Amino acid sequence: MTFIRPNFRHPENHTNEIGYSIKNYEGALSTLCAGCGHDSISAAIIKSCFELNLEPHKIAKISGIGCSSKTPTYFLGKAHGFNSVHGRMPSVTTGANMANRDLLYIGVSGDGDTASIGMGQFAHVVRRNLNMVYLVMNNGCYGLTKGQDSATADKGSAGKKGVPSVFDSIDLCQLALQLGAGMVARSFSGDKQQLVPLIKAAIKHPGFAFIDVISPCVTFNNTPASTKGYEWVRDHLEATGTIDFIPEKSEITIDYPAGSSRQVQLHDGSELVLQKNANDYDLSSRKAAMNRIESVKEAGNILTGLIYHNENQGDTHASINTTQRPLNALTEADLCPGSAVLEQLNAGLR
């Protein structure tokens, strides 16, 4: 009986610009069910970080509880990690981010972890516009506890047990929009062409970037009657447009038909190129985005792709004017300015 990932990799799979191979971005071998959408999302995260030439030790991955929240073990094994408490990923990430703004924060959560027990925390981390990637692996159920309907299960959708959900579902993208997220996107674990550029854009986005990734639970919620199963999702996807991530300084080699594409410049010089589809709308308009989600939903479909993008919202640090340096780098001299300053302060209060 063996279940060990071999150490060999494709000999022609080269290292990235900072000399790391894809192996440096992998984690432990997954213990999730074979075919779980979450594993594909892990693979997309690995690919994104590898291609963006990120240093794994400058990333922190934080999660709550659930099959989805287990995945940080299976990617970026060399990064920092905190597998926290059910629904508490946002507050742990907030604390870490406040203490050290130099790391890249990837928060991984599930639909249960976010839309049920963690709903309060979710609302506030969006509202504060914490600089992080918030990724929900959304399978419409509580996978880890054997598939109970979650708050994102659509009304009428039925999992393995066969009982249709009686409640209306929560659309996390709409919620994020409403609460003021700077970047909102939706994707599907089975579409890495779309997911990888979205993750890259989210990583590059300064401030809160939210991606709701529909990620089928093959074991409990992959029935023909489930709106989160592979088949149904594939048949009902409607993208806002196709998306390419063009890293800083690189030439655009793809030929985009004139008039049909739009470039979105990101703050670090990289670019998102969006191939508009027939129903193009202003991506920086919250109202337009809301409308689009609603009208696609009315037609019985799921809107995917980049839904909303606005880089001009300052993040939490900017709002509360915190120190630029990580707290662990502050010395006594920085923290204790001395009696002369205290005198001055006191004098001002007299």
Partner 1 sequence: MKPTDTKDPEYFHKVVDCQYACPAHTPVPEYIRLIAAGRYNDAYMINWQSNVFPGVLGRTCDRPCEPACRRGRVEEEPVAICRLKRVAADNKTDISDRLPAIPTEKNGKKIALIGAGPASLTVARDLMPLGYEIDLYDDQHKGGGFMRSQIPSFRLPESVLDEEVNYILDMGVVTHFKQHVTSMRDMLAKNYDAVFVGTGAPRGRDLPNLPGRQDGDANIHIGIDWLASVAFEHTHKVGKKVLVLGGGNTAMDCCRTAIRLGGEDVRVVVRSPKSDMKASPWEIEDAEHEDIPMYENHNPKAFLTENGRLTGMVFEKVEPVFDDNGKRSLVPTGEEVTMACDDVLMAIGQLNSFPWIERDIGIEFNDWDMPEVDKTTFQTSLPNVFVGGDAAWGPENVITAVAHGHQAAISIDLYCRGESTAQRPAPEVNLVSQKMGFHDWLYDAHISDDERQIVPLIDKQQAIGNRKLEVEKGFDALQGYDEAMRCLNCDVQTVFETDRCIECDACEDICPVDCINFIDNDEEANLRENLKVKATNTDQDLYVSGELKTKRVMVKDENVCLHCGLCAERCPTGAWDMQKFLLHEATAGVKS
Footprint on this chain of partner 1 (rule: CB under 8 A): 1-13, 30, 33-37, 39-40, 42-43, 189-190, 192, 216, 218, 222, 230-231, 234
| Residue 111 lies near Mg ion (rule: CB under 5 A) | yes
DSSP for 23-56 reads: GGGB-SPP-SPTT-HHHHHHHHHHHHHHHTT--G
Nearest to 269 by CA among 204, 183, 216: 204
CB neighbour list of residue 58: distance below 8 Å, 6 or more residues apart:
79, 102, 103, 104
For the window 132-151, what string marks contact with ligand SF4 as x by the rule CB under 6 A?
A: -------x---xx-------
Binding segment for ligand TPP (CB under 6 A), chosen from 21-29, 107-115, 194-202, 300-308, is: 107-115
| Residue 222 lies near Mg ion (rule: CB under 5 A) | no
The entry of partner 1, Mg ion, ligand SF4, none near residue 38 (CB within 5 to 8 angstroms by kind) is ligand SF4
Binding segment for ligand SF4 (CB under 6 A), chosen from 11-19, 203-211, 213-221, 239-247, is: 213-221
Three-state DSSP at 137 gives: strand
DSSP for 117-128 reads: TTHHHHHHHHHT
Three-state DSSP at 286 gives: helix
For the window 131-160, what string marks contact with ligand TPP as x by the rule CB under 6 A?
A: ------x-x-xxxxx----x----------
| Residue 112 lies near ligand TPP (rule: CB under 6 A) | yes
The one among 59, 92, 117, 217 contacting ligand SF4 by CB under 6 A = 217
Residues constituting the chain: 350
Q: Do residues 145 and 111 make contact, with C-beta atoms less than 8 angstroms apart?
A: no
The one among 27, 37, 66, 159 contacting ligand TPP by CB under 6 A = 66
User: Applying CB under 6 A, what is the total number of residues that bind ligand TPP?
Assistant: 18
- Work out the burial of residue 125: count CB atoms within 10 Å of its CB; fewer than 13 is exposed, 13-18 middle, 19 or more buried: buried
